[in-house]
Amino acid sequence: MPMGYWVSVYPAITDPEGLVVYNELAGIAVKASGGRVLASIGSRVVAHEAGIAERVVLIEFDSFEQAVTAYESAAYQEALAELPDGFERDFRITEGLA
């Protein structure tokens, strides 16, 4: 069964302190859902073409369905509610190749 991945790119982070509560709650929700963080805060980024060299977060799940379920979980929805107003990110759930 193909893995599932959360891919998040943050075009600009103007208030990193505003993400503290979200980061804590999201980390708990991801771990509880079986997710494994492969890249996150502090990971080096080299951007090409239209890419932006800001924070990129890559989280792996055992299946695409597990990744979707984790996003829809009450714990992760609680984390999302803590994102600051006006916050911008590009978030996707994608299926890996078998």
What residues pair up with 90 in beta bridges, in sequence order? Answer: 9
Instruction: Report all structural domains of the chain as residue ranges with CATH numbers, in order of start.
Output: 4-95 (3.30.70.100)
- In the prediction, which pLDDT does 93 show? 98
- In the prediction, which pLDDT does 58 show? 96
The answer to whether the CB of 38 falls within 8 A of the CB of 58 is yes
The pTM of the full predicted model, rounded to 2 decimals, is 0.90
**CA-CA-CA-CA torsion for 36, 38, 40, 42, nearest 10 degrees?**
130
pLDDT digits (tens, 9 = 90+) for 46-94: 889 988 788 899 999 999 999 999 999 999 999 999 998 878 889 999 9
Residue 98 has pLDDT above 80, yes or no: no
CA distances from 95 to 2, 6, 10, 41, 92 (A): 6, 9, 21, 23, 10
pLDDT digits (tens, 9 = 90+) for 24-34: 999 999 999 99
